[in-house]
Each structure stands twice: as structure tokens, then as C-alpha cells.
Structure 1
């Protein structure tokens, strides 16, 4: 490493430091040995060497103290700094580790709160709870109460049922909590604990999150969107800092400036909505009002705010046919103008692998694809041939390539594509495995979207579970599902989530509470790694328009999802 500062300035600084050390040595008696602690062998050897040298003159050593027990990420930065500093010393000088820190000219340690000393690196943390805990967020003050033991039950923070708090301390990848009744060795074991203990709470390093953890909002914000300075106010930021005598400040700063800059983790979000039909009653409402974006107006900000938004589109967008007059028709279409709603909601890609995208045959499919393509909306799961229907939609988000695949497990027997005819991609496990493997060679993240299951049920079939697991074994990052018209639970296989049904999203099934319920799934990624996810319930009203659920509706929906998920968890073997 090349050091650009002058040797003269460094010698002047070191000389000032040695002079101060000499004066301190002459005016202060040597410290008495502590009866409470024995020096380490290395420290003992250094002291013996110093004793042998006697009063021959000041040592040409720069004493450095590094805080013991630094986490691995901080330890590597501390080592890089001390090596760089040692390389910058003039001939005849070398650095030496000392203890206690008061004897050091340079100290490298952890610090909390706002930055003061020179910062080499930082770690940020977020509070995480179980997915089965229905408390969405807390205040910074409440977090302090949870950690210091003044808040003992989640019900005090809005849980609809009594739920004792269980603190989890992490030996690595998170904070060690003094009052914790449980200890996890790492974030992976902490995540497994949270799946079985709904009252669990841990504070995990942001870069070490696991999908089986649910991040708690803090003071009304997703902490993953907050800066280190903002998190520091809640005690959720930790810095590795360098301190030194006034004489060495310039040199410390110049050496630190030549180290590689810490690469801060960049994250992005994918929002996923369930089944969207823009035909039948929904079409008539849009046509009558002249507002082709009407279904999405209440939820557009929730969807458009994501970096990528995906949904299942269950209708044709075509002007080649007249919309059916039958108010109970099971053939779904609307006019191409309805793409305005998809654009308002920021929908970037749709799966068309379902039992309604081919309701108006090859011409309806071609019209739909032409409309989507003209407005920059990608698609998957359908095509002029089977090969085309199996082809993934490839999307770039923050430098990460996402492959979206779609498969029809309901109507492929009559709507499925073939070697030389159009249609949907069938839900065939062998095809899926081959497609996932191929997509993994093109993309960083592979997401298959399955249209499957039994309508109006709370649980997937065992066959669905096996298909989903086979997709993950082949390399899928996660699995999405739709079609049952009810919300269903999710489970984890090899640490990866499987969402069996996201419920209806834009639909006209007003005849039951369950068919009016849906969720927006929000996935948070760092590069190819899924960090965490959340579910944002919506309620469909007036036969066509989803809106954010109110507090009571939210609890009811999440309790249904939890009930289904816990049944899956109880029977899981992966």
C-alpha cells in the first residue's frame, strides 16, 4: 500500500507521542500488578522485554490496543488498519499490542450512538420477532422496555392475545442481551427458535437476517429503510472507531482514508399480488365509470413503491371480442384500456399461467401479450409454443437478475401449450425442475409462480408441497402460489419460503369474507439473498377494489394465515 503523507510529519507525530510517554514515565511510578488478573503470555513477554531494556531510552514502538472479542467483520477491519499503520511507520519503528488501553497511543474499539471518533466500519441491527406474532411494529421506547424487562407481554404493545416476551441473545450475528432467557449460536438457529416460539424477540445484524424472522417496524418505519445514524438513536448501530493522541490524529485519518471503503448492503423489494381478474363485474364497473384504473386506486402506492411488482393476471386484454353479457360468465376478458390500472400500480410482470388467460383462445392471448409488451410489462407462463411458455421473464433490479416462471396446474389439460400450438406452461414437476435449473444459469434469483390447489380451502395438498419442494431442490429461491380464492399459509423448506396462496386481489367474489381477503407479499432482498418478507392484508370491496385492511381485518387475515402455516409446520419434515 502506498502512503501519501510525509515521513517528516509522521516522525514529528511519533516524536511528540514518545516525549509525552517519557514524561509520563518519569512522573508516575510503575503500576502495581493487579491481583485480580494475570497477564496473557504475550503481554508478559512484552513486559519482560521492557524490563530488560531498562532506562536505556524511549522505545521506538507505537503502542496499539484493539478491543478483545470483536465480531469477525470488525476484527478484519481492525487488522487491516493496524497492518496499514505498521507499514506506514518509518524504518526502526514498529507497532506493538498493549493492554490496558490507557497505555496505547492508538485504540481501536466498538462504540454506540452518534459518531465521534474516526469510524472504520459499522454494523446496524434490527429487532426481529416471530411471523406468528401479530404485532407489526413498536416504538424505540417500547424496544427499550422489551429489552430491559419492563414490558413482559406483547399484549401491552397491541397483540390481540396474551403472548409472553422471550428474549433471545445471539453469540454471533446479533446482540447479546443481558436479560435473555434463551441463547442462539447464530441467526440461523435464532430463526428456527422463532418459528416455534411466537413470543421470541432478538436483535439481529441487518446483514444476517433470515426469511424465518419478521422484522419489526420501528417508530412507524421499516428499519431496513433507515440509515445507521437513524438507527443509532435506538441503540441499533455499532461502529468500529479509532482513537489516538492529538499528535497522531492526522496520521490516523490518512491511514484510514487509504483503506478500502466499507461496502454498505444495498437492498431492494419485490411486491407480489395474488389473482387479478379485470373481467365480468370488474369490467362492467370500469366501463361504466370510465375509470380503467379504478380497481387499483386504493392500493397503487403499496405496489408501486416496490422496486419490482408482480401479479397473476387472470383474464384477456382484447378488443377482438365483445365482453360476455352473462353476469355469471366464467370467461374473463376486458378491453386493452384496462392496462391503465396495471400501470398505475407499477406492475412490472405478470404470470399468465392460469385457467383464464386462454378463455378467448390464441387471438385473445396474442392481443393480451401485444398490450403488455406495448406498455413494458413482462410476462411468463404462456406462449405460442410450449418452449415459449416455459421461458422465464428476466428482470433486472439493482443489478440483480430475477427469473420469473409461471405454471398452470388447473387448466393445462385443455389450455396447455404444445410443440406447435399456443397455451400455458403445465405444472409438470420434471419440466419445472429443468426450467428452474436453466433459469438459475441466467439469473441470480429464480421464482416459480404456480397456479394450483383446491378452491376455497385453507391448506395445500400433499402433492403441492412435494412440487414446491422439488422446485427448491432444483434451485428456486422461493415459491409463489395462487388460485384457491382463499388465503393459505406458508412454510419453509431448506430455509426457503413457500407461499401456497396469496388469495384474491382484484376480484368480484363478494359473497364471503374469505373471497374478499388477500395480501400483498413484500420480499426484501440483498442481491440474490432473501433477507425477510412481510404480508400486507387487503380487503376487496364494491366487487372490484382492494384497499388496505383495517386493524381488525388485518388480525383476522393474519390469524387465518398463521393457523394454516402452523398446521404445515407441524407436519413438515424439511
Structure 2
């Protein structure tokens, strides 16, 4: 029996239209991905015929694609897809049901959403020559109504995604805390919230904690103001319990996580709670954590000899090709509710001062191939890819193997954003690999 687990992965698949006939990029990427027996990515859209009811909220844009787009994506060779992300419930329960139906129809393993919290939390199982591998998928960026609920003996559960909630605290000086209290008193920004707390509908605040506009503030003892986040204890325990349970029958567990949260004011740094979550998953026995969400690469860490990809960025990014948008979107941007989706997307882009479609890092990513043996990563290499930022419109937003100059730039960027984790990367012979001479510096 083979004792090495081979894994490949990609970032987020936000596909809105069919791949162009004769698309030249698919062959080298498929060849690379097929090295893995587990080939994972996150499907960042619902799959439907466009007749499902739109939710009153969305993950930023209401996303749904036709089933033929899913067939196109499967040409790359993926055999497990995560479906837990900020767009999972864009088209409510019916949209989720439609998405899962089309995945089941094609016999594609999936994780991250279901008809109740148990189904949303449980892993997908992938059979390999090294044994079974469990894949758990979870999301931290969502409207509260999108998370799945537990069933009880009295009531059924609620369909939705597998949630990773988190809690934020802002630390300020005593002087600034005094100012916040004065502003709160003058504006009554906390009036209704305080009344609900008195009536028992909101939990009491811990000693020394103040709320201001729904955010929690504490006085910093060391004088260093800032923000910190931590993972929700219940969601963290549910996930680590699921990892340990899966390892009772599977040879390895991979955790996929979709998170748009950031540490400060850029997309390069993983939030505090995400690092906490990743470490806890590996402490519980996961062999890797694969992240997505923000539309560009984050750093790569080796924690206890196992890789953490904090975000792989985009694999397909066709957000501007959304073909259907509900009236809610049009009203948000001051448009007639019967406006075409393409016009609505263009309107949003017009008012942007920092459009995603103009950022080179949004169009660059890596595809990891790594081998796990006895719970440790023994080999890793990354295929540098770019999404055709400067190509003609039909060829944009889909992945291509990066040319040497771009690949070297990706390696340099990856080294910079991975510095906090002590990892460094270099480009050689068509791959990005660890730069052993600079690791730990």
C-alpha cells in the first residue's frame, strides 16, 4: 500500500461563463493538478438555472452560474470542492439545494454546507491509494442567516454553511475610552442595545468592556492601541472534534477555510483568529490547512511540519460577468431595478477608487502540490499561475501557467508576505520551491 498522500489545490473558483473553446491554459494546469490524488478547490458561486429566489443579502455580489460552467471547471481534474464561502447562500435554501444537487449528479465530493449543521460540518471523503482522506470546509465571512443550524429532537436543523465565527476587541488608552463614553452619552449610539441588555435580550458585558456601535473596547494596559480577534470557542471545538473523529477512520484530514477578514488594512496579512484556527486544526491532527477568500495570495507557514496556506487567492475570477442580479443590488447603487446586471457591475466599478480588476496581485496565484507522509510534509512545490490580466477580454480571468518573469515576481511577493512565518521561496525550473538558505530568516 502507498504510504504517501499526494495533494494538489487551487484557490477560489468564481466562474460566471463558459471557458472559451480551445483555451490553451487548461492542459499544463490539469497536468500539474493531476499529480495529486486529492485535488481540492473552493467553488465560490451557486449553481442554478437562474430561477431560485435571491436572498435579501449576498456575499457582496449575488452569484450563480449554469451547470455547464461546473462541467468546464471539472475539466481541470478536481475531485473535491468546498462550498462554504460568503456566496453559499446568495440564492437562499433553494440555491444551496440546487448547487449540491449538481455536485451529487456529477459524483463530486463536497464539504462545507448542508441541510443542517451536522451535514455542513462533516467532511467529504476522498479515496486514495494511501487510504481515505477527509476534507473539512468552513467559512468565517457570512451573514448570520447563512450559517447552518443544529437539529434537535424537537425541531429540524437549518440549511446553510459551516460557520467559523470570531470575536473582535479594540484596545484604546484610558483617555480615548473616556472620549468614547462621552460620545456614546451624547449620541445615544448604544441606547437601544443597552435597553435590550437590561431586558435580558443581550448578554451582559464582561467587566471592563465597553460597546460602541456594536464594537467592543477595552483599555490597553501597555498603552498599545489596536485590534485583536479570536476564534469562537464553540466553532473551534466543533471543528477540532470533527478532525479527531475523522482520524479514527481516515489516514489524513485537510481543512479548507474561506476568510475575507484581514489583520489591519490590507489583504496580505491573515487575521489573528485565522492563525489561531489553523494552528488548532493542526494541533488536532490535520495535515494541512488551505485558505481562500481575499482575492490575493497570503503567506505560507509550516506549523509543526505541516503547511498552512493562509489564502491561495483566485483560480477563476469572473465577478464582472455576473448575468443576473436582484433588485436589491440595483437599489443599492441607485439604479432602476430592471437594469441589466452588466450595467450594475459597471456602476459599482465606476465609483471604486481601488478596483480589484486593476490590482496585479488579484490576477496571480500559486497551485500547491505537496506530499504528506507520517503526518509531515516531505515535499512541496508550487505552480505559479496568472489570470490573463492583460489578455483580450475572452481570455481574461482564467488561469494560465505564468511566464518566467511573472513567476519570479510571484515568488518574491510570496517570500515577502510569508516572512512573518519564517518561510522563503524561489523560482526555479518552472516551479516555486522553498528557499532553504533563507528559511527562518
**Same-fold status (TM-score > 0.5):** yes
What's 2:67 paired with? 336
Q: Of 239, 244, 265, which aligns to 1:432?
A: 239
Q: Of 278, 293, 299, which aligns to 2:29?
A: 299
Matching of residues 175-194 of structure 1 within 5 Å: none
User: C-alpha separation between the residues in 2 aligned to 1:272 and 1:499?
Assistant: 10
User: C-alpha separation between the residues in 2 aligned to 1:416 and 1:293?
Assistant: 37
For residues 305 and 470 of structure 1, do their structure 2 counterparts lie closer, same or farther at Cα, with a shift above 3 Å needed?
Answer: closer
Q: Output one character per residue of 1:481-529: Cα deviation in whole Å (capped at 9) or x when no partner.
A: 1111111111122222211011111003532101101111111234755
What's 2:256 paired with? 449
Q: Are 1:565 and 2:375 matched, yes or no?
A: no
For residues 429 and 348 of structure 1, do their structure 2 counterparts lie closer, same or farther at Cα, with a shift above 3 Å needed?
Answer: same
Contact 1:537–1:554 (CA under 8 A) maintained in structure 2:
yes
Tell me the number of residue pairs that the alignment of Structure 1 and Structure 2 aligns. Answer: 299
What's 1:523 paired with? 370
User: C-alpha separation between the residues in 2 aligned to 1:412 and 1:406?
Assistant: 17
Contact 1:293–1:342 (CA under 8 A) maintained in structure 2:
no
What's 1:477 paired with? 287
User: C-alpha separation between the residues in 2 aligned to 1:442 and 1:413?
Assistant: 33
Q: Are 1:273 and 2:10 matched, yes or no?
A: yes
Contact 1:355–1:408 (CA under 8 A) maintained in structure 2:
yes
What's 2:232 paired with? none
Q: Of 160, 167, 190, which aligns to 1:423?
A: 160
Contact 1:381–1:424 (CA under 8 A) maintained in structure 2:
yes
What's 1:201 paired with? none
Q: Are 1:378 and 2:109 matched, yes or no?
A: yes
Q: Are 1:369 and 2:110 matched, yes or no?
A: no
The CA deviation at 1:400 is 1.7
Q: TM-score w.r.t. structure 1 length?
A: 0.49
The CA deviation at 1:321 is 2.2
User: C-alpha separation between the residues in 1 aligned to 2:28 and 2:144?
Assistant: 37
- Greater helix share, 1 or 2? 1
Which segment drifts farther, 345-354 or 560-569?
560-569
Contact 2:86–2:139 (CA under 8 A) maintained in structure 1:
yes
Contact 2:53–2:95 (CA under 8 A) maintained in structure 1:
no
Contact 1:446–1:476 (CA under 8 A) maintained in structure 2:
yes
Higher RCO, Cα 8 Å, sep 6+:
2
Contact 2:288–2:306 (CA under 8 A) maintained in structure 1:
yes
What's 2:91 paired with? 360
What's 1:396 paired with? 127
Contact 1:416–1:424 (CA under 8 A) maintained in structure 2:
yes
1:479 is paired with a residue of what secondary structure?
A: strand
2:288 is paired with a residue of what secondary structure?
A: coil
For residues 453 and 315 of structure 1, do their structure 2 counterparts lie closer, same or farther at Cα, with a shift above 3 Å needed?
Answer: closer
2:71 is paired with a residue of what secondary structure?
A: helix
User: C-alpha separation between the residues in 1 aligned to 2:373 and 2:78?
Assistant: 21
User: C-alpha separation between the residues in 2 aligned to 1:499 and 1:274?
Assistant: 10
What's 1:119 paired with? none
Q: Output one character per residue of 1:209-259: Cα deviation in whole Å (capped at 9) or x when no partner.
A: xxxxxxxxxxxxxxxxxxxxxxxxxxxxxxxxxxxxxxxxxxxxxxxxxxx
Q: Of 376, 379, 383, which aligns to 1:532?
A: 379
Q: Of 38, 46, 55, which aligns to 1:316?
A: 46
- The two structures, once aligned, show a CA RMSD in angstroms of 2.8
Find the structure with the greater CA-based Rg. Answer: 1
Q: Output one character per residue of 1:13-46: Cα deviation in whole Å (capped at 9) or x when no partner.
A: xxxxxxxxxxxxxxxxxxxxxxxxxxxxxxxxxx
User: C-alpha separation between the residues in 2 aligned to 1:464 and 1:292?
Assistant: 39
The CA deviation at 1:331 is 1.1
1:530 is paired with a residue of what secondary structure?
A: strand
Q: TM-score w.r.t. structure 2 length?
A: 0.63
Unaligned runs of 5+ in 2: 151-156, 165-234, 319-355, 389-394, 424-438
User: C-alpha separation between the residues in 2 aligned to 1:292 and 1:407?
Assistant: 35
Q: Are 1:556 and 2:409 matched, yes or no?
A: yes
What's 1:510 paired with? 357
The CA deviation at 1:442 is 2.3
Contact 1:400–1:528 (CA under 8 A) maintained in structure 2:
no
The CA deviation at 1:350 is 0.5
For residues 293 and 472 of structure 1, do their structure 2 counterparts lie closer, same or farther at Cα, with a shift above 3 Å needed?
Answer: same
User: C-alpha separation between the residues in 2 aligned to 1:543 and 1:511?
Assistant: 13
User: C-alpha separation between the residues in 2 aligned to 1:341 and 1:457?
Assistant: 29
